[in-house]
Amino acid sequence: MQKKRFFVAVDCEGVSCAVGKPGGTLGESDNYAFVQRQATCEANAAVRALYDAGAEQVIVWDNHHSGINLDYLMLDKRCDILSGSGHRGRFPTIDDTFGGVLFIGYHSRDNTATAVMAHTYSSLTYQSYTINGREVGEMEIDAAFAGLHGVPVIFVSSDDITVSQAKDAFPWAETVATKVSLSHNSALSKHPLRVCEEINAAVTTACARLEEMRPFTFTEPLNVEIRFKRMDAAQTARLTDRHGEPFALTDPFTRAGTIASIRNLL
């Protein structure tokens, strides 16, 4: 292991037994308290494997909603914790000293019919995000921010559909499926404790294969197309291209433009 710092980025939708509330958000779901504990346990399983493999610093990034979800006292006390919201840029403090990033509990991108709680940033705002002709979600965008610094995604755990999207984008990464997606708000999950064991084992394998991991990047400049759910949101979104001009409105719901770097997206 050459670089001994790692980032464990934790969202909540993809963890074992997390399902949404019909018509509501995950935070309003009756099992949200459980989801917070399970996201913590799944992150912890990854953190322990990283330290066992020789990591010297592991940062756990609590990034669902406003960035305050995990039970921090349950986390391995060797890790550091990035929480809250309002920081500049999408992937705060990432730089080229990290050996890898891990995605726990992420979810499928928007436009994925049967995936549990599929969305991109806000399920109320966006219908799809396309970069260089490829539909992307938060997983690919966060991976591209790490990729700017040459840092690879080494591990992903989530529902089966999100895992298949991860394998497509990061074929080198180790993965664990936590559940089978049945609909937007239902899933057949593996037992939460078994999922934690599988994550620990798969992250151990990922650490043994670090030299095979590759950074995920988009060819620059980036052709971006954002499809909104509402026409007024499409019209008023403040999106500017690499020349400082507003993104074109290519149909009543869609804005498109070219930006220099993924840094200019958010």
Contact 186, 178 (CB under 8 A): no
Least distance from Zn ion to the Cβ atom of residue 87, Å: 16
* Candidate list 20, 38, 44, 64; residue touching Zn ion; CB under 5 A: 64
Total of residues contacting Zn ion (CB under 5 A): 2
Nearest CA to 120 out of 142, 88, 89, 151 is that of 142
Least distance from Zn ion to the Cβ atom of residue 56, Å: 29
Choice between 44 and 162, CB closer to Zn ion: 162
Choice between 11 and 241, CB closer to Zn ion: 11
Which backbone phi and psi does 104 adopt, to 5 degrees? -110, 130
**With b meaning 16 or more CB within 10 Å and e meaning fewer, what string describes 123-143?**
bebbbbbbbeeebbbbbbbbb
CA–chain centroid gap for 226, Å, is 18
Choice between 199 and 207, CB closer to Zn ion: 199
Least distance from Zn ion to the Cβ atom of residue 68, Å: 12
Least distance from Zn ion to the Cβ atom of residue 106, Å: 8
Stretch that binds Zn ion, among 7-15, 73-81, 169-177, 228-236 (CB under 5 A): 7-15
Q: For the segment 188-247, give every residue that binds Zn ion (CB under 5 A).
A: none
Residue whose C-beta lies closest to Zn ion: 64
Stretch that binds Zn ion, among 31-39, 62-70, 90-98, 254-262 (CB under 5 A): 62-70
Residue 182 identity = L
* Cis ω before 221 (30° cut-off from 0): yes
Choice between 103 and 218, CB closer to Zn ion: 103
Which backbone phi and psi does 86 adopt, to 5 degrees? 100, -5
184 binds Zn ion (CB under 5 A): no
Across the chain, how many H-helices and E-strands are there?
5, 12
110 binds Zn ion (CB under 5 A): no
11 binds Zn ion (CB under 5 A): yes
Contact 26, 35 (CB under 8 A): yes
Contact 177, 159 (CB under 8 A): yes
Choice between 41 and 222, CB closer to Zn ion: 41
Least distance from Zn ion to the Cβ atom of residue 105, Å: 7
Which positions touch Zn ion (CB under 5 A)? 11, 64
